[in-house]
Structure 1
Amino acid sequence: MDYFELVDKAYKEHNLAKGEVMRLLEPKGVEEEAYLFKKADQLRHECVGDCVHLRGLIEFSSHCRRNCKYCGLRRDNVSLERYRLSPEDIVKIAHNAALLGYKTIVLQSGEDEFYTADVMAYIIKEIKKIADVAITLCIGERSYEEYKIMKEAGADRYLLKFETANPGHYREMHPDMSYKDRIDCLMALKDLGYEVGSGDIVGLPGQTVEHLAEDIMLLKELDVEMAGIGPFIPHHSTPFRDEARGTLEMTLRMVAITRLMLPYANIPATTAVGTIHPQGRQKALMAGANVVMPNVMPPEYRPRYEIYPSKICIGEKPSHCRLCIEGIIRSLGREVGQDYGSYRGR
């Protein structure tokens, strides 16, 4: 079976062996890669349509108890000026985002234990009182009971990336964490009825093509409703400061193959892919992605949530970001989704 036939198999069956995924990750030429992107975009059109769904991102705390080697928010980064928003400020920002037309709000932070499950439940309930939005949480590992409290308060979705599906590689990247704990958390979220998102980082130090194939196989096994895939960008205050960043080409292949394997998943064109290439988000949207997550934080906070450096749109007001991303979407012949953008596969 040649490369084109293998792409066709993925397009029709949505189910490949790890070795076949590895083959797709390494096309022999430009024509093969272009065909992969074309078929992924075709499947995106058929399964989730031409609307691009916007998720308004609120990065409400840059404090983190973890020490992941790749992340600028890591505990040992003493050069970062940390901040925490009050629950009232978070609700206000969410309300403003809803007024700009966002139908999903993403509440994201480092793993900050200041925000207990009860505090998060209060924030969720207050947002739901004043805004007709879905709420996605991205706040790391919590207990089953904590996830349950937040779900009962009205949280709809949860994003918890595993970053790398290889247990040995996971240990290398996360010196104070457990791969099993991460998978257990994902299974708990599924059990509680969240729409669950997970994903990886493309180009992490020590990563191989086999690791990337394992990442896709795990996304398939977990049957995630959202799949977040972005490139590694080294941060100057981490142990990986001198490592090479992930490439646009491999990131786009991962997006495309994930679309072929998970035809109904919501897949974002990440800010990180837009950071490594000026047309990165557009290219991801043309390779199978169907979601964009503009930042709705006030500009004064954005430089202080530095997971990686040189992030795009740092100085822009939320209203400008909203108009800018809508222009990008329309330039591709697509429309901005007007609904919650919920998972359509069931």
Structure 2
Amino acid sequence: MSAPSSLLAAKFSQQQIIEFLSGKHDEWLFDQAKYVTQQVFNNQVYIRGIVEFSNHCRNNCHYCGLRSGNRQVSRYRLTDVEILDAVSDIAQLGIGTVVLQSGDDWQYSAEKIAKLIEKIKQDFDIAITLSLGDRKHHELKLWRAAGADRYLLKMESFNQSLFNQCRPHSDFNERLARLKYIQSLGYQTGSGVITDLPGMTDEILAADIITLSNMALDMLACGPFIAHPQTPFAQHANGDVLRSHRVSAILRLMNPGANIPATSSLAVLQPNARELALMRGCNVIMPSFTPAGVYHNYNIYPGKNAATKQVTQRVASIFEQIQHHGLQPNLSRGDSKRNHYVSRC
């Protein structure tokens, strides 16, 4: 294969993507993804700080350890003060984005979240990404007006049959429509898939990649499936790291300006897999600033938040890993380069 002559988004057919997924063109694929990422982001890796403020979830997804049917989870909810203290820790390190994440926990009302957003914007010069699941349209609109900059709503798969198998009692069309509504509100919008979900084929994954790319999203997430012992998918094999890297690389070539995180799930399966992903299309790393007392309880898959080091030590280690590969940690807001947005800081 020949190298692209520009940084314009590549257009691949489903069959071409299936060939990439098979590993037939790994050297070309990874070389081109590395080149495009370095050209667009100038060797910069954006650092985000995550605060996972609740592990309560009303959903019962078959792949997730936080599923409502799992009675072995130690549940927690952070107070406003605890959340703001964690955000303060992020801001004091100079990190320009906080990601507020939780299960689908409706105990946090729309008004409570809006006040929290306003308080963060008042006290810190920082961008806010929300990852709060399926909330009502008026809530999403309220949070955007309060100052939230980004919203991540993963589909896990855009194949309706597979979606239904993985997310019982969820409405595929409703979630997809919500994702499009989030875009219409002016959020920098993200979605993504889990590679090697039980039942996922190369054909399904290739179609997912095309759908994601056609949506012109600002954030694209992909990470390998990891079986959790307290879920219906407990006996299925874990996903393949190399396949996840191939998906990141394909997404980079098809979406040059999108932000693509190197997910923590990669490091669970292979110690160097997350930093290697930065050489294969990814440009974001998101360390967790969830308070130590509940940090280990955000256990969506085994190994998630398993580190024993203090957060400042974890961040320093991430910086070293990034710099080892000739890249530079970037603490700025790191807005999407795909679309134009008005900052609400």
* TM-score, scaled to structure 1: 0.95
* 1:89 CA displacement: 1.2
* 1:24 CA displacement: 1.6
Partner of 1:221: 214
* Whole-angstrom distance in 1 between the partners of 2:165 and 2:323: 42
Aligned partners of 1:133 and 1:340 also within 8 Å? yes
Aligned residue identity for 2:114: A
**Structure 1 residue aligned with 2:334, among 335, 341, 345?**
341
Percent of aligned pairs with the same amino acid: 37
Q: Bigger shift: 16-25 or 206-215? A: 16-25
Partner of 1:60: 53
**Structure 2 residue aligned with 1:330, among 323, 336, 340?**
323
CA gap 1:133/1:98 in 2 versus in 1, 3 angstroms: same
Q: Bigger shift: 220-229 or 295-304? A: 295-304
1:178-219 per-residue CA deviation (whole Å, 9 max, x = no partner) reads: 110111111110000000010000111011001111111111
* Whole-angstrom distance in 2 between the partners of 1:289 and 1:191: 26
Aligned residue identity for 2:61: C
* Whole-angstrom distance in 2 between the partners of 1:138 and 1:9: 36
After superposition, the CA RMSD in angstroms is 1.4
* Whole-angstrom distance in 1 between the partners of 2:144 and 2:18: 37
**Number of residue pairs the alignment of both structures matches:** 339
CA gap 1:36/1:180 in 2 versus in 1, 3 angstroms: same
Partner of 1:14: 10
Question: Structure 1: 5+ residue runs without aligned partners?
Answer: none
1:85-138 per-residue CA deviation (whole Å, 9 max, x = no partner) reads: 011211111011110121100000000001111111111111111111100000
* 1:313 CA displacement: 4.7
Partner of 1:204: 197
**Structure 1 residue aligned with 2:34, among 36, 41, 48?**
41
* 1:333 CA displacement: 0.7
Aligned partners of 1:161 and 1:200 also within 8 Å? yes
* Whole-angstrom distance in 2 between the partners of 1:295 and 1:39: 30
* Whole-angstrom distance in 1 between the partners of 2:100 and 2:332: 18
Give 4+ residue runs of structure 1 displaced > 4 Å after superposition: 7-13
Q: Bigger shift: 103-112 or 92-101? A: 92-101
* Whole-angstrom distance in 2 between the partners of 1:225 and 1:345: 6
SS of the residue corresponding to residue 269 of structure 1 reads coil
1:183-194 map, 5 Å? 183-194=176-187
CA gap 1:80/1:303 in 2 versus in 1, 3 angstroms: same
* Whole-angstrom distance in 2 between the partners of 1:295 and 1:79: 22
* Whole-angstrom distance in 2 between the partners of 1:278 and 1:175: 33
1:136-178 per-residue CA deviation (whole Å, 9 max, x = no partner) reads: 0000011111100000111000011110010111111111101
* Whole-angstrom distance in 2 between the partners of 1:48 and 1:22: 27
Aligned partners of 2:298 and 2:304 also within 8 Å? no
* Whole-angstrom distance in 2 between the partners of 1:259 and 1:329: 19
1:298-336 per-residue CA deviation (whole Å, 9 max, x = no partner) reads: 222121111001225532222112111111111111111
CA gap 1:36/1:149 in 2 versus in 1, 3 angstroms: same
Aligned residue identity for 1:331: H
* Whole-angstrom distance in 1 between the partners of 2:240 and 2:9: 28
